[in-house]
Amino acid sequence: MTYLTPGDPKRRIRKIQAFVVIVAIIFGIRLVDLQIVEADAINAKSYANRAVSRVLPSLRGQIVDNEGKVLARTDFKYDINAAPDIVAPFSRKVNGQEILVSKEQAAGEIAVLTGQTPADVLMKISGTGKYSQVAKAVDASIYRQIKKLDIPWLFYDPRPARTYPSGAVAGGILGFLDPDGLPLEGIELAQNACLAGKDGEETFEKGVDGIKIPSSAITTKAAVPGKKIVLTINADLQYFAQQVLTANVAKLQADWGTAVVIEVKTGKILAAADAPSYDPNEPGKSSVENRGSRVFRTSFEPGSTMKMVTAATAIDQGKVTPETHFIAPFAMTIPHSNGYRVSDSHVHGNDKLTVAGVLRDSSNTGAMQIGNLVPWQVRRSYMEKFGVGSMPGSGFPGESAGLLNTKTTWANDVIKRYVSTFGQGVSVTPLQSAMMYQAVANKGIRLQPKLIEGCVDASGNMTKVTKDKAPVRVVTEATAKSTLDILEKVVEEGGIGKHAAVPGYRVGGKTGTAQITDPNTGRYGNLHAISFIGVAPIEDPQYVVAVTAYKSRTVSNSLGATPIFKAIMSQVLRTYRVAPSTTKSADIKTQW
């Protein structure tokens, strides 16, 4: 086939070729630009138009006792939400048949599960809004039942919720969270760095109707769960101590009570009970002052339990032996005190007592004489070594150091110096009291009280979370033994002390009936803080139990504290299968 064409076809074809090549190059460059150079930016812009991000909440770590029993856990609860503008009847397959479920019928089904009225639910799902909360924070089991209803316009948002499965068992120690999940008290607060997880992020694509496209979710940042805190507390023992303490505090009509169990050779706190106790699941139901733990925070004048320190100091300084003789009158006037008179709790004549007898009878006049044999500066330094006035370092937040007056104060106040021999003018927490006895039970070495074993990660590796304090040599091993022998005499022969005896075991301890200053008058009132602190078994001390009832009204001396001590110490010895004692107490005379 032949065509006639004007001009030079070769030239024209070359022009066309050039044009085509130029266009092709332009398109090629643009293609490379779009597909390679700007590809990421364009993709991101496109994705941003249809993608929605949301936070993936992390689970807070558990708090467990020394046997792994869960005391605090975080689970998901679910908010049930709806988009009213898309609420409409929907079809559901029942027995192979499609049935139409009306909006009202669906509202009724939801209401049954969430405990609301159908009218309430219907009101929440009606309207033209994009969001309405149908039910807030429902349990996983309810959530699952609602989800099974297969209602297409319902959406579920998980939210972490803290639960304390054992309720008030160790409630004062555990602490609690506020409604937003922020820690406010106890271990929850002190160990938040370990317990708190890191929230993640999820992105998913939405359709034109704003509904999530199935299988479009991408976890852009995985949530990291919190780690686990292991306590030294034995939850069963803690429950027992709280039960006994609560029952007896009620009997005594006391303001409050505490009971502490310490493992002598490790300093571990096995139980730290408070009465009244509080349930961290419902912190709002307890008064503010009952939400912490008085074991760690409340200091008060300990009274006669401090006489053990006075006796141990004098023995350690070589001033007395357990059998050194004293004449203890009913009352004595403190020298150079303008007639300040100190008397014993009961009227008696001039009793001929040994050091052991002074503690057995809890004689204030005898204790003053023993203490006066040691220079007050030295005696004060022993008190420091016993832990008076310094933070125990247990790891519980806000613990108190108690009060030990300064050297200057003691130098200028002879009364404070003297009365400190029987536990007045100084103050200690129940934990500090217990640790003073732990020192003599542990051959004279005071350990740091330990409430937290550590923080455990997902791999099971444990890290320490409390700063270690070096053990303190308070008295010699020989002094510690002599002091224990004296304490045993208190339980063997003491009028009140013998009520603390645990059959089958050698038990030593000391009573305490401390006067309490009336804040209105500034003078001692009629109510007392009654205590008993004991050690068992004496031949190889394993446990210290310290009990206090504050402002006891029905019993005004330590007779109110000994049944609590006996019950708890018996349970401790049973729990840890401590063999009954096979040796006898030391042959020490208590009077002459």
Partner 1 sequence: MSTARLTQAPRSARQLPARSSLRSINLSGLTNSPSSRVVVLTITLGAVAIAIFQLLLHIATSSSVYELSHLQTEKRELSTTTQILGQQVDSLASQQNLANAAQKLGMISNANPVFLRLEDQKVFGKPKAALTADGRVSRNLVPNSAMTLSSVIVAPETTPATELAAAGSAPQAAAFVPVKGNVANGSTAIGSVVSNSGGIPASPTH
7 lies in the site for partner 1, by CB under 8 A? yes
281 lies in the site for partner 1, by CB under 8 A? yes
- Which of the ranges 201-209, 277-285, 441-449, 529-537 carries the binding residues for partner 1, by CB under 8 A? 277-285
In which region does residue 479 sit, left (phi positive, over 0), alpha (psi from -120 to 50) or beta (all else)? Answer: alpha
319 lies in the site for partner 1, by CB under 8 A? no
Asked if 227 and 195 touch (Cβ cutoff 8 Å), the reply is: yes
Asked if 388 and 428 touch (Cβ cutoff 8 Å), the reply is: yes
- The pattern of x and - marking residues 364 through 403 that bind partner 1 according to CB under 8 A reads ----------------------------------------
Residue 536 φ then ψ, to 5°: -155, 155
Asked if 535 and 526 touch (Cβ cutoff 8 Å), the reply is: no
96 lies in the site for partner 1, by CB under 8 A? no
Asked if 496 and 519 touch (Cβ cutoff 8 Å), the reply is: no
Residue 548 φ then ψ, to 5°: -140, 140
| Three-class SS state of 488 | helix
Residue of 215, 287, 408, 521 interacting with partner 1 (CB under 8 A): 215
Asked if 224 and 58 touch (Cβ cutoff 8 Å), the reply is: yes
Please report, as a single letter, which amino acid is at residue 456: V
- As given in the structure block, the two tokens for residue 189 are 């607060």
- Which of the ranges 292-300, 454-462, 502-510, 533-541 carries the binding residues for partner 1, by CB under 8 A? 502-510
CB of 204 to partner 1, least distance (A): 12
503 lies in the site for partner 1, by CB under 8 A? yes
412 lies in the site for partner 1, by CB under 8 A? no
- How do beta strands 228-231 and 63-64 pair? parallel
- As given in the structure block, the two tokens for residue 39 are 């590809």
CB of 6 to partner 1, least distance (A): 6
Residue of 123, 189, 247, 378 interacting with partner 1 (CB under 8 A): 247
- The pattern of x and - marking residues 127 through 146 that bind partner 1 according to CB under 8 A reads ------------xxx-xx--
CB of 271 to partner 1, least distance (A): 12
CB of 165 to partner 1, least distance (A): 3
For every residue of 496-553, DSSP letters joined together read TGGGG--TTS--EEEEEEEEEE-TTTSSEEEEEEEEEEEEE-TTS--EEEEEEEEEES
588 lies in the site for partner 1, by CB under 8 A? no
Residue of 85, 104, 202, 236 interacting with partner 1 (CB under 8 A): 236
- The pattern of x and - marking residues 551 through 580 that bind partner 1 according to CB under 8 A reads ------------x---x--x---x----xx
Looking at the DSSP bridge assignments, the partners of residue 333 are 341
211 lies in the site for partner 1, by CB under 8 A? no
Nearer to partner 1, 27 or 156 (CB): 156
76 lies in the site for partner 1, by CB under 8 A? yes
CB of 551 to partner 1, least distance (A): 19
Question: Which positions ≥6 away from 373 have C-beta within 8 Å?
Answer: 314, 317, 319, 320
Nearer to partner 1, 235 or 545 (CB): 235
| Three-class SS state of 576 | coil
10 lies in the site for partner 1, by CB under 8 A? yes
Asked if 296 and 429 touch (Cβ cutoff 8 Å), the reply is: yes
The footprint of partner 1 on this chain (CB under 8 A) covers a number of residues equal to 55
Alpha-helical (H) ranges within 163-227 are 171-174, 186-190, 192-195
Which residues, 53 to 72, sit near partner 1 by CB under 8 A? 69-70
- Return residues touching partner 1 (CB under 8 A): 1-10, 13, 17, 69-70, 73, 75-76, 139-141, 143-144, 163-169, 214-215, 217, 235-236, 239, 242-244, 246-247, 277-279, 281-282, 503-505, 563, 567, 570, 574, 579-580, 582
